[in-house]
Structure 1
Amino acid sequence: MATILIAGGGIGGLAAAVAAAGRGHRAVVLERREGFTELGAGIQIGPNGFTALDRLGVGHEVRSLAVYIDELRFMDGTTGERVASMPLTGRYRARFGNPYAVVQRVDLYGPLLAACRTSPLIELRERSHVADYRQDAAGVTAILDDGGRVRGDALIGADGIRSAVRARLVGDGEPRVSGHTIYRSVIPMEQVPEELRWNTVTLWAGPGWHFVHYPIGGGRYLNLAATRDDGATRVVTGRPAAREHVLGEFPGLGETARRLLELGEDWREWVLCDRDPVGDWTDGRVVLLGDAAHPMLQYAAQGACMALEDAVTLGDLLDCGAGEFPQRFEKYNAARRERTGRTQLVARAMGELLYHPAGDEALARNRMLSALSDDDLHDKVSWLHGARDFARAAA
């Protein structure tokens, strides 16, 4: 039995711990914060995400907390026109083998955390911020920011977009600032007029902005996320934003969408960041996973799903002794980099080319999307949503 250190106790880190323990290894999760919890509001889970959750043994628990969405709806945010709708029931579920759902982040995190706490092979350590690492032929030492050291046979860096493990392994500096600011709010569903309580993920697209909303928390809340292409250059993380400011950032928003945006309370803002894809996430007995390996913008709604896929793929390769870890990590890296890199670039392109055009470009986009049949739309996402073999390169 080998000891695998995992930097980061988020969704990806816990999933990696479950996967490692499933292969009989001891996993030590080193989380920088005090306590294990997940911040944030809504998260979307595609069929590929549920396939991964089932492989990790927590699919049933997450399903019990999810809201199963009927369709992904794309609206013209200025005219209110419904441009396209992709059904997520019937043929979609039959084709991809699982539903599409939305949850509160804690409802995805909680079952993974429970699985970790009930496993005798998983140790959860809080206030253990991995700042660096050193390795030799026999293993890896995680160096904590307080000077502490933790020894193991391998280290998985699952410590997010500003990963300290990545900083040493890849050394590509700070994340790329997208120039987009997102404003988020969660409100009780009882405050939403009944005629606007749609069981959909709805996106309103406008010139230089878009607005997304969907139910979470078993339908008890409405998650609001409004994004402005404002050229932001400095990182902002969860700063309170005045309601008047948020409403003023979305000029031309149509009547129905404006009604929904005006319901928002206690807004907070983030400036979105990602990184360019890289080909190599390994350094001997050290490997990256999730946002540490391939951070992406939220526009394809696949960040968490990619981390879950990573964990399953890596777990499948850990049926070996510690001496084989470097070679197995290289196989994992080779298996995942094309698919995750493609997803990173698709997410970026969706924000730049699909959601924010104006004028004639917006009209052309609307014509293109409205001409697609249900099957056409399902074909467009089949490489992503329909994946069952996460180690296969994207087609």
Structure 2
Amino acid sequence: MSATPTTLHIAVVGGGIGGLAAALATARAGHRVTLVERAAQFGEIGAGLQLAPNASLALDELGVLQAVRHTAVAPPRLVMMDALTGLQVTALDLRSPAYEERFKHPYLVTHRTDLHAALLAACQEHPAVTLRTGHTVTRAEQDGSGVHLHFMEDHAKLSADAVVAADGLRSQLRQALVGDGEPVCSRYVAFRGALPTEKMTGRMSQHAASEAVMVWAGPRMHLVQYPVRRGELYNQVAVFESDQYTPDSDDWGTEAELEERFAGTCQAVRDALPLISRDRRWPLFDRLPVDNWVHGRIVLLGDAAHPMLQYLAQGACQALEDAVALGQAFGHCTDPADAFVAYADRRRERAARIQTNARRFGDICHLEGMGATLRNMLLASRGPAEFDDISWVWTPAAAPVPTL
């Protein structure tokens, strides 16, 4: 297959990180893109985001790594602490020669809105990308001429050669095509937010000054901390399993449960708890992997394809990998359906493996009693430059060599 001599018109549904990255990658492959977002304006909610070297590589290939690095922090270490004893379990050196030789690209932490803004600016600057807000897709129809999107609002339908569904965890297009129902609730909930670093006091100010990513692991709960936005903000995420969860109620994972679950933790974690944002709680969902990402000239991407729990910090990273793989497939295939198949074949197995292992890592992080003791003993034997157990996550599959 050789590079296509004609310009395709590709529609992208969803203006989050995955959708913007997909639009940018497709445009950089030489095609015209119309991205539709249901919100009235582009934006992201949430707080911090970890970008492992596979994500930094993807951002580099999308041409936005330097823009992201302008506000991001490159932490020196990734540290796991025991949330009950306050003792260090293990740490990885993210600036060592061993790290740099193996991964080439930096491990970054950033505010979600900063990453989104960098991708949005790149799309706005690209002449082949058109961005439309206030467009809620109600259905997609395929025929011999392409795909036709219909909208809830009083907009004319949008016709394109193909459609990328990047509309998130509760993707309407996925439900229309795959029909696998609601996402799976893990019974865990997160309280997260970023506050000015200067508000961190005591031991927490020392952790903030270190710029390390701190993961405090405890029984059925954990706390993650790291600086973002040039170190001006400190991101904190408290996660715990709710005993009050019921599928037909929203009255679970409350602040009272948060306080109760973290009551037995060490002083450093208890000091951090009052500073964790309580404005919103975030129930944590994922899905089981599926094989059918491609439906004719419609393909799933990001959370619409492979929503995962956050325990490997790979949700956004995998969406960025998707986008790069999609752009490369468009650069090699003359037919969009062929490009979608090539993209899905390259990404499906790896994304599924990370989905399932994210669940397993959450189980390891949340071990209790003897399980936690054995975990700590095992991880304590690992040196700061030993990356073998995580390297497969941080190293994306190589791009296939095109057949000429």
| Residues 1:37 and 2:24 aligned together | no
In structure 2, which of residues 334, 344, 355 is the aligned counterpart of residue 333 of structure 1? 344
- Note if contact 2:84-2:218 (Cα within 8 Å) is conserved in structure 1: yes
| 1:287-343: CA deviation from partner (whole Å, max 9, x where unpaired) | 011000000011100111111111110101112676x11122111111101100001
In structure 1, which of residues 219, 223, 228 is the aligned counterpart of residue 240 of structure 2? 228
TM alignment of 1:166-245, pairs within 5 A:
166-193=174-201, 194-197=205-208, 198-231=210-243, 232-234=245-247, 242=255
How many angstroms apart in 1 are the aligned matches of 2:367 and 2:278? 29
- Note if contact 2:56-2:108 (Cα within 8 Å) is conserved in structure 1: no
Between the aligned residues of both structures, percent identity stands at 41
* Aligned residues: CA RMSD: 2.0
Who is 1:311 aligned against? 323
For these two proteins, the number of residue pairs brought into alignment is: 387
- Note if contact 1:31-1:125 (Cα within 8 Å) is conserved in structure 2: yes
Matched to 1:43, the amino acid is L
Who is 2:3 aligned against? none
Who is 2:132 aligned against? 125
| 1:40-77: CA deviation from partner (whole Å, max 9, x where unpaired) | 11000011111111111111111111111111111111
Who is 2:393 aligned against? 384
Matched to 2:197, the amino acid is M
Taking structure 1 as reference, are residues 390 and 356 closer, same or farther at Cα in structure 2, changes over 3 Å only? farther
How many angstroms apart in 2 are the aligned matches of 1:182 and 1:59? 28
How many angstroms apart in 2 are the aligned matches of 1:32 and 1:313? 25
Q: Give, in angstroms, the shift of residue 280 of structure 1.
A: 1.4
| 1:100-157: CA deviation from partner (whole Å, max 9, x where unpaired) | 1100011111111111111111110001011221101210011212364211100000
Taking structure 1 as reference, are residues 41 and 390 closer, same or farther at Cα in structure 2, changes over 3 Å only? farther
Which 4+ runs in 1 deviate beyond 6 A?
none
- Note if contact 1:224-1:261 (Cα within 8 Å) is conserved in structure 2: no
Name structure 1 gaps, 5 residues minimum: none
How many angstroms apart in 2 are the aligned matches of 1:241 and 1:219? 30
Q: Give, in angstroms, the shift of residue 249 of structure 1.
A: 3.1
TM alignment of 1:282-361, pairs within 5 A:
282-319=294-331, 324-352=335-363, 354-361=364-371
Structure 1 stretch 189-198 or stretch 381-390: which is displaced more? 381-390
In structure 2, which of residues 149, 152, 155 is the aligned counterpart of residue 145 of structure 1? 152
| 1:331-363: CA deviation from partner (whole Å, max 9, x where unpaired) | 1111101100001011111112x1111111111
Structure 1 stretch 263-272 or stretch 27-36: which is displaced more? 263-272
Taking structure 1 as reference, are residues 146 and 205 closer, same or farther at Cα in structure 2, changes over 3 Å only? same
How many angstroms apart in 2 are the aligned matches of 1:132 and 1:342? 31
How many angstroms apart in 2 are the aligned matches of 1:315 and 1:196? 40
Who is 1:11 aligned against? 17
Matched to 1:359, the amino acid is G
TM-score, normalising length: structure 2:
0.91
Who is 1:134 aligned against? 141
Name structure 2 gaps, 5 residues minimum: 1-6
Q: Which has the higher contact order (CA 8 A, sep 6+)?
A: 2
- Note if contact 2:241-2:253 (Cα within 8 Å) is conserved in structure 1: no
TM-score, normalising length: structure 1:
0.93
- Note if contact 1:95-1:386 (Cα within 8 Å) is conserved in structure 2: no
Taking structure 1 as reference, are residues 307 and 236 closer, same or farther at Cα in structure 2, changes over 3 Å only? farther
| Residues 1:68 and 2:68 aligned together | no
How many angstroms apart in 1 are the aligned matches of 2:233 and 2:247? 31
Matched to 1:301, the amino acid is A
How many angstroms apart in 1 are the aligned matches of 2:281 and 2:178? 29
